[in-house]
Amino acid sequence: MLLRPGASTQPLRAALRSFSTTSPKSAGQVSNIGKQPIPIPPTVSLTPSTTSTPNAPITLSVKGPLGEATVPLQPFVKLDLTKPETLTVSVQDPSVKAQRSMWGTTRSLINNAVVGISTGFTTPLYLVGVGYRAALEEDPRGKTAGNSGQRLNMKLGFSHPVYQPIPAHIKAEVVSPTKIILSCTDKHELGLFAAKVRRWRPPEPYKGKGIIVGNERVRIRAVKKK
């Protein structure tokens, strides 16, 4: 074998690369989120449905001090309530992608329902800007379908005030003129309403003025000087 001057005399090693048609999740057949047990407080009770209708999904009823919630379940989802104050979620065949993907989702939905019914969820809103103010007042239209009869009166730099009706399932509290605290037993509904309020004045990237939800971080752009 001829070698170039200065070339290494060690034999060349071919780089071997293994290929696999299975995904990394399929190898372990385990959902990192779904396998975690759900702690159940003593004030919360769980009641799985016993319906035998073929097309009706199985549900899990969660009752607690703040109300009641229902979580729909797929037929292949299994619940283990044998351990005290602990719920374990599993599926019939983890090798099936559809079942494995719903494993962690179902566990998160049940955990959110347990936390929401027992302690509830809270999200703060901050009004950042010169002259930005918020106040809680009675809605002149009264209690309409889906509304609590209250609304937020916000000054957000427009030539007119902004009114946002509050749904019946949302509790709003204005602790200061620039801070609003929203509470709800449903995490999904709370996030939707917080996003609806934020849409009136999203934070702008130059001075950070706007409505900031919770621990949201606003990336400030550097202004080029002439």
pLDDT digits (tens, 9 = 90+) for 81-98: 888 789 999 988 888 888
Q: What are the CB-based long-range contacts (under 8 Å, 24+) for 114-117?
A: 114/38, 114/39, 114/40, 114/41, 114/44, 114/62, 114/64, 115/187, 116/66, 116/69, 116/184, 116/185, 116/186, 116/187, 117/44, 117/62, 117/63, 117/64, 117/65, 117/66, 117/67, 117/68, 117/69, 117/185
Domain 29-118 has CATH 3.40.50.150: no
Angle at 72 between CA 145 and CA 41, to 5 degrees: 95
| Two tokens, residue 78 | 């299994």
Domain ranges for the chain: 29-118, 121-213
Q: Answer whether 29-118 and 121-213 agree in fold.
A: yes
User: Residue 159 and residue 155: Cα distance in Å, rounded?
Assistant: 9
Angle at 192 between CA 188 and CA 197, to 5 degrees: 150
User: Residue 46 and residue 81: Cα distance in Å, rounded?
Assistant: 9
Rounded mean pLDDT of 168-195? 95
pLDDT at position 14 over 90: no
Rounded mean pLDDT of 196-202? 95
Rounded mean pLDDT of 150-162? 95
CATH class of 121-213: alpha beta
pLDDT at position 150 over 50: yes
Mean pLDDT of the chain: 85
Better-predicted residue by pLDDT, 52 or 70: 70
pLDDT at position 30 is 77
pLDDT at position 52 is 52
